[in-house]
Amino acid sequence: MEAYLGLFSAAFIAATLLPFYSEALLVGLQAGGYDPWALWLWATAGNTLGAAVNWALGRWLLHYQDRRWFPFKPGTLGPAQRWYQRWGVWSLLMAWLPVGGDALTFIAGVMRVRFDLFFALTWIGKGARYAALLGLFGLAEI
């Protein structure tokens, strides 16, 4: 159980804005004989919940949009939010990308993407990535 909790923690941290990676631990645990389905579930859950932290931070920072340091100007936030909600929400399927994926989840919060839609799309994307890794390295062991 400790290994699964460690994987959950690594995946959680890796999904936040902090630089961290969980793939090596996932593959190492798989090579060590751990159940691939359990590994997939723990890694996907941790990574998706970590992304939810980014979403919450983006949503929370919106309260400071009148501050000079806020990354968006008041006149551009409305149109950007409408564009992202119309087209950009599907980009959350790519939230697993090592470069830019964490930013997508943060911007989703700033743009007020519905949490249920955010969570579902992020879960699908991150789950597919972990399934692909498990499948790829599982085949390599044969």
Domain residue ranges in the chain: 2-140
pLDDT at 134: 94
In tens, the pLDDT along 41-86 reads 999 999 999 999 989 988 998 778 788 877 666 666 666 566 667 7
pLDDT at 142 over 50: no
pLDDT at 3: 95
In tens, the pLDDT along 100-115 reads 788 888 889 988 899 9
Asked if 130 and 29 count as a contact pair (C-beta separation under 8 A), the reply is no
In tens, the pLDDT along 7-41 reads 999 999 999 877 788 999 999 999 999 999 999 99
The answer for 33, left when phi > 0, alpha when psi is -120 to 50, beta otherwise, is left
